[in-house]
Amino acid sequence: MKKIIFISLSGLLCLAAMKSNYSYYDTESPPSRSENENISSENFDVMMKVITHERCMNCHPSDDRPRQGDESSVHHFDIQRGADGHGMPALKCSTCHQSENNDLSGVPGAPHWHLAPKSMGWQGLNRVEIADAMLDKTKNGGRSLEEIEEHLTEDALVLWAFEPGVNNEGKPRKAPPVSKEAFIAAVKNWIAEGAKIPAK
Ligand code: HEC
Ligand code: HEC
């Protein structure tokens, strides 16, 4: 604790980033699962290796507690999501998490660091269920497919996972098993090919 530098950040950036309304599934019905049985799932496989990695999942819990570390243990200091994912009034994420990694204290950081809303809680779901939830506008913050592509390939929290810094013992955190470039290419190709989710 004593090593932590207390700097407050405005978490409001994320609100500005919330946009919606471009419609994909409103005009085209989603591809049916049975039609997808024989598709090549190569891009999907690469993409899901990243999405199911603990660097992402630690911020996408199904309850109110962020996880930490490669074993995804409950976050120290009894941290709770709070009303808006930025923590409780007395202990905001931004009290400790800055806009970049602090490799002296081992606190990870990226702009607008906070917990994904509960509707985006993927913990306990399999990869097909995660993909379904990710495309479901009632759960994904009203995002169109185009906006999901943008989020997956440009959002600061997503990109952080590929350069996750060191933990509080000074050991490098594991990055996902796929490079950032390979992930971005897989996302773009998967979406360009109709965002088909394999049967399992
Ligand atoms: C009192 C300081 C403090 C507060 C407040 C805090 N964190 Fe952390 N957080 C840490 C420290 C220190 C670590 C590093 C632990 C480690 O990896 O050794 C950490 C690690 C994490 C990780 C783990 C990253 C990974 O993949 O291993 C996540 C996720 C996280 N915090 C999310 C949050 C969220 C979301 C909030 C607000 C709701 C929050 N934290 C509030 C200090 C804090
Ligand atoms: C520090 C916490 C944090 C980390 C790490 C994180 N996310 Fe998120 N994620 C969020 C928050 C917060 C939102 C909601 C943002 C919003 O709606 O404006 C979100 C939203 C999303 C969304 C859009 C919603 C949806 O269901 O389609 C996707 C996709 C996503 N994250 C994927 C990832 C992937 C992939 C990774 C890892 C490479 C990752 N996230 C890592 C916090 C995080």
CB of residue 97 inside a 6 A radius of ligand 1: yes
Would you state the pLDDT for residue 40? 73
pLDDT over 80 (residue 141):
yes
Q: What is the pLDDT of residues 8-56, one digit of tens each?
A: 333 333 333 333 333 344 445 555 666 666 667 999 999 999 999 999 9
CB 106 within 8 A of CB 165: yes
Q: Considering only residues 83 and 200, tell me which one the structure prediction assigns the higher pLDDT.
A: 83
Would you state the pLDDT for residue 29? 55
Q: What is the pLDDT of residues 48-83, one digit of tens each?
A: 999 999 999 999 999 999 999 999 999 999 999 999
CB of residue 167 inside a 6 A radius of ligand 1: yes
Q: Name the closest-CA residue to atom 38, ligand 1.
A: 87
Confidence category of residue 5, pLDDT binned at 50, 70, 90: very low
Phi-psi category of residue 21: left, alpha or beta, with phi > 0 → left and psi -120 to 50 → alpha: left
Average model confidence (pLDDT) across the chain = 86
Mutation pick for ligand 1 pocket among 107, 115, 118, 160 (CB with most ligand atoms within 8 Å): 107
pLDDT over 60 (residue 94):
yes
Confidence category of residue 1, pLDDT binned at 50, 70, 90: very low
CA of 192 to the centre of ligand 1 (A): 35
Q: Name the closest-CA residue to atom 10, ligand 1.
A: 107
pLDDT over 50 (residue 182):
yes
pLDDT over 80 (residue 181):
yes
